[in-house]
Structure 1
């Protein structure tokens, strides 16, 4: 069975949702027969490369909230992450264009290191003091090497704007065709969809249902009980 996850490195609910999904997957009896593939989705595709700003400044500017409201949202995200055993810096993070990170994730997929790299990218963006956006390409190469990729190959991808660009855009078109307007978005065997950072129990339900009904539906059917926290073009929900 294949599970495809559309997400963005800039999406905190994707970070939390991945942990919740993996909790369910670890307890799933058929986990060794589940292939997980990460798909690209940019929350801020129009942002220019090199346009980096503090997260709080981005939130107050883009969504018209006060700095106190923005900080309260970040504090809540920190608490949600901590509940899943994740570190989360609720102050001092920055925000930028994620296109190059997605291109490297496609390289990592070809090399069998995609899950390792996306986990490292999430940790670097949400838990570490160093920036994945402001330090330039060598910071991304360093993280790619940590995931087991070849440094020169990663540099080659970053030096070539066309490398894996079509693959990123194809993922994003496919997300739109499937009706995903926010992330994280999970698709199980192209039959069932789960939107948002749902509780682990919901992912367990979805995995079980998809496994039991592998005769394959022709369209993606939603199995979640309702809306869950997610990020979209209009921002990240805070519950």
Structure 2
């Protein structure tokens, strides 16, 4: 009788990343999580799910208020407080080749943009949702575009490959609002108050924009528990 080789174990890791589209550290974390997955020994066993979260859901739509001014007011500092916070974020992101144009970036309510990210996920799965998140990040941080303006969102969504008629329909309704709220409620049930926040397989969590090595260690640690 010939011994049969044992079937290879399958490791399935679900990585949830809660982020806000106007949070610089969320963009950094997204890039670093992607780098960690690429460096992981079994990247095809990892599914990254991008989740919605609003750091400041009460932000008014429009107004073209500079981000630095908004941050200074929100955090109770003087006029330079927001600029200092932005400078720190730029320093962190430098290693990831992300450039923030803080002289142009304006405050934005992200709820509708998050709804469109949910639409992208339904239309094209994780890849299209990732493309939408990436495009909204770059529009906000690099181009000074107001990502709560419906005309801007319509154009950016088309650039990502979303169906323009569906985008118009979503923006004219409350579609995907429940999905966004469900993401936020799930995060709050775990005590999340800031982004980025990463959870692997529902139990191993890290917060903040960590080095790639930390996310890679998270993946490897969870893999040993799921083999």
TM-score, reference length from structure 1:
0.84
User: Helix, strand or coil: the match of 2:86?
Assistant: helix
Query: Aligned residue for 1:164?
Result: 176
1:124-143 maps to which residues of 2 (within 5 A)?
Answer: 124-133=139-148, 136-143=149-156
Higher Rg: 2
Which residue is equivalent to 1:179? 191
Following TM superposition, by how much is the alpha carbon of 1:35 offset from its aligned partner in structure 2, in angstroms? Answer: 1.1
Contact 1:103 1:165 in 2 (8 A): yes
Q: Deviation of residue 6 (structure 1)?
A: 0.7
Q: Residue 149 of structure 1: which of 154, 162, 167 is its match? A: 162
Comparing 47-56 and 20-29, the one that deviates more: 47-56
Match of 2:132 in 1: 117
Q: Which deviates more from structure 2 when the two are superposed, residues 62-71 or residues 16-25? A: 62-71
Q: Give the secondary-structure state (helix, strand or coil) at the position aligned to 2:226.
A: coil
- The answer to whether 1:31 aligns with 2:31 is no
Name the SS of the counterpart of 2:143 in structure 1.
coil
**Runs of 4 or more off by more than 3 Å in structure 1?**
none
Please say if residues 78 and 89 of structure 1, whose CA atoms lie closer than 8 Å, have aligned partners that are also in contact: no
Q: Kindly indicate whether the alpha-carbon contact (under 8 Å) linking 1:144 and 1:154 is maintained by their aligned counterparts in 2.
A: yes
Shift, 1:51, TM fit? 4.8
- What RMSD over aligned residues (CA atoms) do the two structures have, in Å? 1.5
SS at match of 2:192: coil
* Post-superposition offset of 1:52: 4.5
Give the helix-richer structure, 1 or 2. 2
Partners in 2 of 1:67 and 1:83 — Cα distance? 27
**Corresponding position: 1:212 with 2:185:** no
Preserved contact between residue 106 and residue 144 of structure 2 (Cα < 8 Å):
no
Q: Which runs of 5+ in 1 are unaligned?
A: 216-239
> Mean Cα displacement is larger for which, 185-194 or 41-50?
41-50
**Deviation by residue 1:159-210 (Cα, 9 ceiling, x = unmatched):** 10x2011111111110011221211111111121111101111101101011
Report what 1:191 is aligned to: 203
Q: Are the aligned partners of 2:19 and 2:26 in contact in 1 as well (CA < 8 Å)? A: yes
1:189-234: CA deviation from partner (whole Å, max 9, x where unpaired):
112111110111110110101111127xxxxxxxxxxxxxxxxxxx
